[in-house]
Amino acid sequence: MGDYSKYIVKPFDWGERPLIHHDRETMNGLGPLMAFLNTDMVKEADLNIFVHHIDVKDPPGPEYVEVHAHEVSQAYVFPLPGITFEVTLGDEKYTVDSPATVFIPPRLKHTVRIVNGSGIEVSIVRNEKYEESLTEASEG
């Protein structure tokens, strides 16, 4: 019988660690960013899962994510009501109230900004390392 306990992990506060294309100081001002899964936690993981606890105290919320794209798909999940966010996909900008999910196909330029409210944002990116998922050439 195998020991699968290594696949059960606890999240940790991403703290001051960098996240390419993201202004970490501004993000931290909105609330803590928690890493729930990555290859540092589980060597075989092919997903990066972050949960950002957000509270916009002075709407509209700041811009903190540069336009970027990944070689792999990504999803933003806003599971609870209470947040209004803007998402730009290619050259199209949408304002959305949570709960909602945004699927981002590989190589599609995108950015997200929390406009108002409080709650959580879940970011799921396929790949071994977040940095390895980024692409320079992209669509949109």
Q: What are the structural domain ranges in the chain?
A: 10-135
pLDDT on residue 52? 97
Report the pLDDT value the prediction gives residue 12, as an integer from 0 to 100. 96
The 3-state DSSP class for residue 60 equals coil
- Which range scores top for mean pLDDT: 2-11, 104-113, 119-128? 104-113
Burial of 92 by CB count in 10 Å (0-12 exposed, 13-18 middle, 19+ buried)?
exposed
Q: pLDDT: is 137 or 88 the higher one?
A: 88
pTM of the model: 0.87
From residue 114, alpha-carbon distances to 7, 51, 58, 101, 126 in Å are 32, 14, 11, 14, 22
Percent of the chain with pLDDT over 90: 77
| CATH-assigned architecture of domain 10-135 | Sandwich (2.60)
pLDDT for residue 130: 57
Question: CA 61 to CA 64: how far, in whole Å?
Answer: 9
Is residue 32 scored above 90 in pLDDT? Answer: yes
pLDDT of 128 > 80? The answer is no
Lowest mean pLDDT among 86-90, 121-125, 130-134: 130-134
Which secondary structure element, helix H or strand E, spans residue 24, and what is its range? helix 24-30
- DSSP bridge partners of 52: 33, 121
Per-residue pLDDT at 75: 98
Question: Rounded distance, CA 96 to CA 68, Å?
Answer: 20
